[in-house]
Amino acid sequence: MEGSRAAEGKDLDPRVRRTRKMLQDALASLLKERDFDTISIGDIAEESTLNRATFYDHYPDKFALLECLVGSQFQELIVQRNICFDGCARALRKIATGVCCYLAATLKPGSDGLWRAGAPMDTAIVSVVRRLILDGFAKHPPKAGVPAELVSSTIAWAIYGAAKEWAMSPKRMPVDRIGGLIEKVVAPILTGLTREPTA
């Protein structure tokens, strides 16, 4: 899911974009009332006022739809918060805080919804974070011999893994505090691998 299917809408026919948005909105609405594993494609089609054949014209299954929904929502949060990666460890706190804010808005404390949603949610969020870090490395590359893709994937999964652990805790610490802790855990991955941006 390179660049996340969240970015899928830019070059699509407006009718296709509208239909996919209807399906994503339908799933988002259903998720407010029910767990993902209890929602069927028929439920999504009914909620969207579209038919099952139309669903399958756009998505192979409900997991692909969830992946696109999560990717789109998380990408919007990144843009709204003006989160970017400039090649230095200080930016990791903002990224981690953004991931935690998204998970906090999506899941109740102590919920096991992340496990039930599984790979689609993981993949969608990690893909957006990985792309964000790669974009930063395009301007501030790692030291020679260190593949930017490897570092970006490692950091993205580390941030998400820590945020996911926090999100599933019944007693979450404040978002700004966990953002700082995640930065401390993940920053050593970056240390020694990147050049600090010059002023």
pLDDT in tens, 20-40: 999 999 998 888 888 788 899
**Residue, of 194 and 93, whose pLDDT is higher:** 93
Q: In terms of Cα–Cα distance, which of 74, 68, 22 is closest to 49?
A: 22
Domains of the chain, each with CATH number or no CATH: 5-64 (1.10.10.60), 70-190 (no CATH)
pLDDT at position 160 is 95
The whole-angstrom separation of Cα 92 and Cα 133 is 9
Q: How many CA atoms lie within 13 A of 163 on its CB side?
A: 33
- Burial tier of 136 (Cβ tally within 10 Å: 0-12, 13-18, 19+): buried
pLDDT confidence tier of residue 41, bands split at 50, 70 and 90: very high
CB atoms within 10 A of CB 20: 22
- Burial tier of 152 (Cβ tally within 10 Å: 0-12, 13-18, 19+): buried
pLDDT in tens, 138-167: 888 877 778 889 999 999 999 999 998 998
Q: Which two tokens stand for residue 91?
A: 């930016």
The stretch 73-88 carries a mean pLDDT of 89
SS3 34: coil
The whole-angstrom separation of Cα 163 and Cα 97 is 8
Averaged pLDDT of the chain: 85
| Length, in residues, of the chain | 199
> Model-level pTM?
0.77
Residues 60 and 41 sit within 8 Å (Cβ to Cβ): no
Query: What are the beta bridge partners of residue 194?
Result: 142
The whole-angstrom separation of Cα 6 and Cα 67 is 8
pLDDT confidence tier of residue 7, bands split at 50, 70 and 90: very low
The whole-angstrom separation of Cα 100 and Cα 83 is 13
pLDDT in tens, 104-124: 887 666 555 555 566 778 888
Query: What are the beta bridge partners of residue 142?
Result: 194
The whole-angstrom separation of Cα 28 and Cα 31 is 5
Read off the amino acid at residue 168.
Answer: M
